[in-house]
Structure 1
């Protein structure tokens, strides 16, 4: 069985062209944690610890209440189909965060207004791609 991946290496995902904020915002807490909350917590508390696959599947596992025993099998099933990568994350589309994937494919978050965000944009050794737009042109 072919496994798909959402991992990038040495790549910076910029906020979406139609991102409504010019300063990053922490996703608001709701009764049920949203995907944005889960991703924000996991990445902001553990910069450069997890790959994109770890984050995307980890959040899916929480949302779908997958037990520790089932995780490996469910992860293989999950990635047997292509999955949306962090370019579709609400953090980059709506809340003003860019994602940097380092040379090991591990991810960290950077607010759009930060000095580091600008440094990634100006760094020619880092590939850049934009988050997906929320609305069609």
Structure 2
């Protein structure tokens, strides 16, 4: 059975305990972090990649998976459930909402932006909150 992290027509709101009220670009820390990678991949390529694409690409980078191994590793990776973009530091820590369009492709929007507000007011889009960083 193939699992997926993709949503369609869904907006991931920032987490309830997100520490910022205005979106922040993840700071450079010398080594590329998950937040850096997701931010660069999505901000430069809005609605080009799905959640599965982004999550697997990070896994491939972290595990030195070659181009020739990718298809087989993709099958193995998604044979089990994986954390979706509701766990992304962009939505949990840095103040970005993540929109999945009807084709399952993603783009990010700063919490203070007009676009973010439009998604929040659009009743035809499913809304889910990003995961909290801390337990209640």
- Per the TM superposition, whether the score is higher than 0.5 is yes
In 2, Cα distance between equivalents of 1:123 and 1:5: 25
In 2, Cα distance between equivalents of 1:42 and 1:107: 10
RMSD of aligned Cα (Å) = 0.6
Calculate the TM-score normalised by the size of structure 1. Answer: 0.98
Counterpart in 2 of 1:24?
23
1:1-137 → structure 2 map (5 Å cutoff) = 2-137=1-136
CA displacement 1:11-58 (0-9 Å, x = unmatched): 000000000000101111112100011111100000000010001001
Any stretches of 5+ residues in structure 1 without a counterpart?
none
In 1, Cα distance between equivalents of 2:83 and 2:43: 20
Superposition misfits of 4+ residues, deviation over 2 angstroms: none
Matched position secondary structure for 2:97: strand
Any stretches of 5+ residues in structure 2 without a counterpart?
none
Aligned pairs, how many?
A: 136
* TM-superposed deviation, 1:130: 0.2
In 1, Cα distance between equivalents of 2:28 and 2:78: 29
Calculate the TM-score normalised by the size of structure 2. Answer: 0.98
In 2, Cα distance between equivalents of 1:11 and 1:103: 8
* TM-superposed deviation, 1:62: 1.3
